[in-house]
Amino acid sequence: MLSFTQHTLKSPLIPKGFHGMKILQFSDLHLGYYFSLQHLSQIVSKINAEKPDIVLFTGDLIDDYQTYTEASFVASILKNIQAPFGKFSIYGNHDHGGYGTEYYDHIMRESGFELLQNSEKRIRLLDNSEISIFGLDDMLLGKPKIAETLQHAKQNIYTIVLVHEPDIAPQIATYPINLQLSGHSHGGQVQIPFLGAIITPSLAKEYIEGFYNIQGLTLYVNRGIGRTRVPFRFMSKPEITLFILQHS
């Protein structure tokens, strides 16, 4: 059962013109044996039903690029996602693995997503008010340039960083970043009562799901939608997250 979670993000740095704007995050589809194109079409419909202004995908599109045979059909589905202020994506570790780097780049661009790889995008309104979105390359298999990229972050602009692996947050917190959005953890994918998550990948062992505050940085870890390693989830529902910006 897919879980839709909705949260309000409050900050005086959020311009009045962005008040009420909806940012939707989805992550970790892992298209393959356990997640079909039909499932993807259903996810796209659910995303569009929320009428987001901005859509963010935080990595791991296909589980195994070497064995996946339907990659040519993915863009024709993803491109149906509607977001008037833009669709943005980053690399996850699976997007670099199995020679997936170029495939992922091609699919996301064909889908109308701007791929942020150690780069920044400013969302600017007609009154010239703006927010900033940075995207970092994958921490495990990519070539992340944290300092080189985030040195351009501004203290007076509300700034979001997309990075697949959540446990890098303490390093992100040393820069003027307001919000880090990550995936990768699957919320543990399998959780046992009183024990918690039992499947925690590298760089997703400290921060598993939901909100955290790290030295003033707000981190949100999305549980993702798909599955990997084992064909099921337990006590870790697949998730799409909607954030409502609020000037305060």
Contact 225, 34 (CB under 8 A): no
Collapse the DSSP code of 93 into the 3-class scheme (helix H, G, I; strand E, B; otherwise coil) and give the result. Answer: helix
Mean pLDDT in the chain? 91
For 9-48, what is each residue's pLDDT tens digit? 999 999 999 999 999 999 999 898 788 999 999 999 999 9
Q: Which helix (H) or strand (E) holds 49?
A: helix 37-49
Domain boundaries, position 185? 3-247
Residue from 21, 59, 45, 89 nearest 243 by CA: 21
Start-to-end C-alpha separation, the chain: 34
Number of domains in the chain: 1
**Would you place residue 227 in the very low, low, confident or very high pLDDT band (cuts 50, 70, 90)?**
low
Query: Rounded CA gap, 136 and 159, in Å?
Result: 13
The domain spanning residue 229 has which CATH number? 3.60.21.10
Whole-model pTM: value is 0.93
What per-residue confidence (pLDDT) applies to 196? 55
